[in-house]
Amino acid sequence: MSRMVKCVLLGVEAEGLDYAPYPGELGKRIYENVSRQAWQQWLAHQTMIINEYRLTPIEPKARKFIEEEMEKFFFGAGADRPEGYTPEE
């Protein structure tokens, strides 16, 4: 049986992640409070911000920015889309 969590993003009881998807305290909080479905939503959002801001995730400054956005996405007021972003149709 899958591990269930009360998802902070979706506000419902849902299937949890199998492991902490990020190192450190933030990864632990995500593992304990974020569902698989919400994590997939984050991955799509992360891909969009990497592409829109033309980030190189290996660079420390970009990694810090992505981590801050992840924190906002799950535990803050929510992450914003980049200014001028229009989704593909």
| CATH code, domain carrying 29 | 1.10.3880.10
Which of 17-31, 43-57, 73-87 shows the lowest mean pLDDT across its residues?
73-87
Contact (Cβ atoms closer than 8 angstroms) between residue 82 and residue 49:
yes
Would you say residue 81 lies in a domain?
A: no
Q: 22 in a domain, yes or no?
A: yes
- pTM across the whole model: 0.85
Are 37 and 8 in contact by the 8 Å Cβ rule? The answer is no
What is the arithmetic mean of pLDDT over 48-68?
A: 94
Give the chain's domain count.
Answer: 1
- Residue 43 falls inside a structural domain: yes
State CA 37 to chain mean position distance: 11
Mean pLDDT of the 10-29 span: 95
Mean pLDDT of 31-41: 97
Contact 16, 35 (CB under 8 A): yes
Structural domain including 23 reads 4-75
